[in-house]
Amino acid sequence: MSKLLFLIALLAGAFAVHAEEAPQAVRDAMKSLAPQAKIDSITTSSLPGFWSVLVEGHVLYVSGDGRFVIEGSVYDVPRHVELKEERLSGVRKQGIAAIPADKRLVFAPAHPKYKVTVFTDVDCPYCRQFHKQIAEYNRLGIEVDYVLFPLNIHPGADKKAETVWCTADRNAAYTRAMNGEALPPKTCDNPVKDLTNRALAMGLSGTPAIIAEDGSQLGGYVAPNDLAQRLESLSAPPKTPAAPN
């Protein structure tokens, strides 16, 4: 079994299978490879003869007869699209839309031109670098909605995230934490675990993860001017091909 499929089996979560219309051979193939995995969805794919299978934020392509599984990148050359990223963009867009406003830490200018959702970890160095420039992002018209996503590689980051959430002024607490200040521990009912599970279901594994409103992942750390340029490019209308002479 590949490393990815082994990981899928370990990370299997409580997702219902929505694959009633998929060929039985596709479902049998997944059951054979990762018996304990719970499938998010199985949909038709633009890759001829293959179905797109989403498991815990991972995209696999399974042939209709169940014989072949592709777990790498697949490019649609005429459309200049990477199929896995196209699928995950849709998953991320839906996942972000399902995160209520009251479960985010919002840093916004008076009149935002753009909005990004940034999955962040208090102990992530690049997250700290990003937040040090939050005033510049806002000056450029970018609203930043932070979603707490403490990583397992940072022991205790979940407790720090909980402390930030449980402080009366969450934005101020987040800024203090990102400046390296050790905040007095606080506990309360909080969404940190739920947000972490949501991030994992979107296929996210690192921070910062900057997601545009269309679900595109714009990278990890991106400098303010570069991020504004990328967002401007996304908002521009598609170019129409020039008429032949």
DSSP 183-196: PPP---S-SHHHHH
What is the residue range of 70's domain?
Answer: 3-77
Q: What is this structure's pTM? A: 0.77
Residue 107 included in any domain: yes
If you average pLDDT over residues 91-117, what whole number do you get? 96
The first and second tokens of residue 13, run together, are 């979560």
118 and 223 both lie in a single domain: yes
Residue 213 included in any domain: yes
211 and 111 both lie in a single domain: yes
Give the Cα separation of 125 and 142 in Å (integer): 21
123 and 206 both lie in a single domain: yes
66 and 107 both lie in a single domain: no
Q: 11-38 burial string, b = 16+ CB within 10 Å, else e?
A: bbeeeeeebeebbeebbebbeebbeebb
CATH of the domain at 229: 3.40.30.10
CATH of the domain at 65: 3.10.450.70
Average pLDDT, the chain: 86
126 and 194 both lie in a single domain: yes
Give the Cα separation of 75 and 198 in Å (integer): 27
Instruction: Decide: 47 and 77 in contact? Cβ < 8 Å.
Output: no
User: pLDDT (tens digit, 9 = 90+) per residue, 192-202?
Assistant: 999 999 999 88
At 239 the pLDDT is 56
Single out the residue in 77, 108, 136 at which a domain terminates. 77
135 and 53 both lie in a single domain: no
Residue 61 included in any domain: yes
Number of domains in the chain: 2
37 and 124 both lie in a single domain: no
Instruction: Decide: 224 and 133 in contact? Cβ < 8 Å.
Output: yes
105 and 207 both lie in a single domain: yes
CA dihedral 185, 104, 199, 53 (to 10 degrees): 160
104 and 186 both lie in a single domain: yes
User: pLDDT (tens digit, 9 = 90+) per residue, 45-95?
Assistant: 888 888 888 887 788 889 888 888 888 888 888 888 778 788 888 889 999
134 and 218 both lie in a single domain: yes
Instruction: Evaluate if residue 13 carries a pLDDT over 70.
Output: no
